Chain A
């Protein structure tokens, strides 16, 4: 059985009146890319900061690498790479100096450090900006510097708190690939985000958080199996008679049908060939229709079904 890298038990954290974490539990195994997914304010960053022993908490227990985590657990901290949500670099130091500074806090050997820094620079693609000051970097480049500062020392546990905010899709993919590579090289990864696509693409296991509570946990397939929706069929169609809609609703495995005058949306739960059966009905009635598409459930559907609200606004 794999080793447990991070174990959080019954964590309770209050900010005054506000209950930020409510008996939160988490167990992360070695070699996982663990996704912590939740909307803004759900407590992801708070969890990370408690994990790092930056924050006091009211109740609970935190272990990393099987040992209790305290502010003076330097042997544990040595193995952690942290990329914070807010970029934390020296304004007065150049890109290269910043990476050297942070790497130097972990790696004393100068030759090794030099090699690690070079690798980190290549990893985030900042080769052309080594002499730049952070102020001169664009938001995305700054994020990449933040990442380089966190992973240069080749930690065993990498914690990334929304590292891809403000990064363009191209560099985002590069970063995600990089994280996968770090993982292949043996690092356990904790990744928080409110971008479910990212989490779906990257993470081997996912916990969904809301209001300081863990509302679901598992691999993405396990999560999707938790909900009844298995497939959503959408058909662009004008003038759909009510009796046809009722006929479709009566088909097996269909639990909801919505028609808005232009588009018919059919929610299916299990079963096979749902699409064919629906189209069959339309064909028999000689109704013409436009675009047809089916969607498999997303983590958003999971979140929606459990909490009754969307994970994040559509336009985000």
Chain B
């Protein structure tokens, strides 16, 4: 009986053209548009190459005590260290002022860093590379103050302090490169996945409509059959989960392998998060559908509107919406299904371990379970006052 239900549940779901459009075609179109809109930006980071700079070593015209301290500060070592390795941050040309100006003019380098005790930066244009250089220089300079102060107060620990500070600067230049900046862009695709997951609510809503005697003729007809309603509901739910999961897998695969969006190295977990998100979406729709005695069309509109609201709040249309909400109502981000899904994907990419990801997955599980139980409780009512 259960399998009989399941078979036709899946078969009929897969043939609903609306559903296929919203769940498969629409995200593919939107994803492609995102890619076209932000793609060039992304490419830059994808193929990030070291920023070319000219470094000018000029004699500091500062008071002798400071100069003394600067001599112990390994300016050159640090600059060298960020210019080495697998992913060098800078491509350094040591030269004098005149030649450096020449290079900058010709566009051979993005900026000139002059070592006159503190670092100072000369750039021509403004752009991402220039900003990154400025960040680096600022960071470097602020460290000098800290280091000099530390050394003054505790001359014995000099070596350790220098060690610590140079690691930190390296780390700082590392983060914007591999993560921070690309995330802003990838976030849109996380949101896209969350949107598809939330569209699952339409599939979920369909479950109640098709099983509830007062919502559809089909529901009424089913209620007359000798199959217990819980079995029919369960089959519908599982069928919808399967269909939704297929859509989620298609969506993630398309983004990852056709648009080549970088979701980090933990792809199986990304798929898992997307599938669980889809299940959450279906459960949400199922729950909405079972509340109240509203007409089918009204329920569909509510479902659509609420889903879009969730997506909006998690940043589908405006990128930093989630940040704004985090300040105003952080609890909402914790339970907004769309935000939970985007967060879980984000943490997968950013975090070294799975702890924050796990928290989000548990949230998804709890939310889904609660909605399914509520839905079941409300749908199982057997007789209706009016059909």
| Residues in chain A within 8 A of chain B (CB atoms) | 15, 49, 52-56, 70-72, 74-75, 77-78, 80, 82, 84, 86-90, 92-93, 97, 101-102, 104-106, 108, 149
Contact = CB atoms under 8 A, between A and B. Distances in A.
A54 B224 contact: yes
Interface string B195-238: 00000000000000000010011101111111110000000000
Contact of B223 (A54, A70, A89, A149): A54
B384 A74 contact: no
A104 B6 CA distance: 12
A101 B232 CA distance: 12
Contacts of B224: 52, 54, 77, 80, 82
Contact of A88 (B1, B8, B221, B382): B221
B18 to A, nearest CB: 11
Given A54-B384, A72-B228, 4 more contacts: A77-B224, A77-B226, A105-B4, A149-B221
Contacts of B8: 90, 93, 97, 101
B15 interface: yes
Contact of B1 (A71, A87, A105): A105
B179 interface: no
Contacts of A54: 213, 220, 223-224, 383-384, 387
A200 B12 CA distance: 41
A88 B217 contact: yes
A47 B353 CA distance: 63
A92 B228 contact: no
Interface residues of B, number: 27
A49 B213 CA distance: 10
Nearest to A80: B224
Nearest to B3: A104
10 contacts: A53-B383, A54-B213, A54-B220, A54-B223, A54-B387, A55-B383, A90-B12, A93-B15, A105-B1, A105-B4
The 9 closest A-B pairs by CB, nearest first: A71-B382, A88-B221, A88-B217, A92-B15, A105-B225, A92-B12, A78-B226, A77-B226, A74-B226
A55 B385 contact: yes
B384 A56 contact: yes
B383 A93 contact: no
Contacts of B227: 74, 105
A78 B15 CA distance: 29
Nearest to B222: A105
A55 B218 contact: no
B256 to A, nearest CB: 30
Contact of B384 (A55, A86, A88): A55
Contacts of A52: 223-224
A106 B218 contact: no
